[in-house]
Homo-oligomer: A and B are copies of this chain.
Amino acid sequence: VIVWLNGALIDADAARLDPTDRGFTLGDGLFETIRIATGRPAHLDRHLARLRGGAEFLGIPVPSADDDIAAAISSLLAAEGLSEAAVRITLSRGPAARGVLPPARPVPTLLITVGPLPPAAAPAHVIIATVTRRNEASPLSRFKSLNYLDNILARQEAVRHGADDAVLLNVAGRIAEATAANLFVLAKDVLRTPPIADGALPGIMRSLLIERRGAVEASLTPADLMAAETAFLSNSLGLRRIAAVDGQRLRHDIDEHVIEELARCLD
């Protein structure tokens, strides 16, 4: 396996990070997950814009131009012989001495890895996470940061209950998102998804469903989810129907062809 690290393609076994990297010591960084379809990264411009927005907010310089990142992805795909894949871009503030305050002149780490797409998944059984809440009062909820432990805890809770994923509520008790996806409900022909202010990550697929399919941002409670005709999860790797919430089946199972139709408009 080949990875791209700070400008060079190298064997994954030879790729090594500095143990003082603030991505490792403090979760000080961001990432993007991008679907590769027929050899091309889907919506790369949007992913890089989100990455740059987060990096600017955190004060982490992005050490490569967008074109260089696009070329790095192409070279990685060629090296691995993949045309359908999942790419991950990780940006951290890089090595630094001990302490919370970032160095004045960070030397960021930029890592790009590629792997196979996960297999198509059956409709998801989800739980409403009780172990933790998503912090809508933190600006980090708007960025895809490396601080993923709340989501990890929620996913672990789901698996303990025999479910596939967990829906995170925010501190106010409204639905924010799933552990690695945005959430949409369809009721009375209206597609709704939690607003950013409720702690939803501004997902790329989420934006496209708003722009191209008229989905509306609306605060959602667990009761809204249970009452929905149908619901699904969206992330950059695709859409996934929700079959049941806390063990209770949703009233209607959306037709797979509806999901496929929605997904097509997102390419």
Contact stretch, chosen from A35-43, A142-150, A214-222, A258-266: A142-150
Binds B, one of A62-70, A74-82, A128-136, A249-257: A128-136
**Which of B23, B131, B155 contacts A101 (CB under 8 A)?**
B155
Count chain A residues whose beta carbon lies closer than 8 angstroms to a beta carbon of B: 58
Taking CB atoms, residues of chain B closer than 8 Å to A59 are: 156
Flag if B17 contacts A24 (CB, 8 Å). yes
Q: Are A17 and B21 in contact (CB under 8 A)?
A: yes
How far does the alpha carbon of A24 sit from the alpha carbon of B24 in the complex, in Å? Answer: 4
A-B pairs with beta carbons under 8 Å apart, 7 shown: A3-B19, A12-B20, A17-B17, A101-B152, A101-B159, A135-B150, A171-B171
Residues of B contacting A88 in the complex (Cβ-Cβ under 8 angstroms): 25, 98
Interface residues of A in 1-21 (CB under 8 A from B): 3, 5, 12, 15-21
Within residues 47 to 76 of chain A, which ones have a CB less than 8 A from any CB in chain B? Answer: 58-59
Bound form: Cα–Cα A152–B135 in Å: 16
User: CB of A90 within 8 A of chain B?
Assistant: yes
Q: Say yes or no: A28 contacts B148, CB within 8 Å.
A: yes
A167 within 8 Å of B by Cβ? no
Q: Which residues from chain A sit less than 8 Å from chain B, CB to CB?
A: 3, 5, 12, 15-21, 23-28, 31, 33, 58-59, 86, 88, 90, 92, 97-102, 111, 113, 115, 118, 131-133, 135-140, 145-153, 155-156, 159, 171, 179-180
A186 CB to nearest B CB, Å: 25
- Complex alpha-carbon distance, A171 and B3, angstroms: 40
User: How long is the Cα–Cα vector from A26 to B139 in the complex, in angstroms?
Assistant: 17
Report yes or no: A100 in contact with B139, Cβ–Cβ below 8 A. Answer: no
Given contact pairs A17-B18, A28-B148, A131-B139, enumerate 13 new A-B contacts (beta carbons under 8 Å): A12-B20, A19-B111, A25-B88, A26-B152, A27-B147, A28-B149, A58-B149, A86-B98, A100-B148, A136-B171, A137-B171, A139-B153, A171-B171
B-side contacts of A19, CB under 8 Å: 3, 5, 12, 15-17, 90, 111, 113
Find out whether the CB atom of A137 lies under 8 angstroms from the CB atom of B148.
no
Given A17-B17, A98-B115, A137 and B132 contact (CB-CB distance below 8 Å): yes
Closest CB-CB distance, A1 to chain B, in whole Å?
Answer: 10
A26–B146 CB distance below 8 A: yes
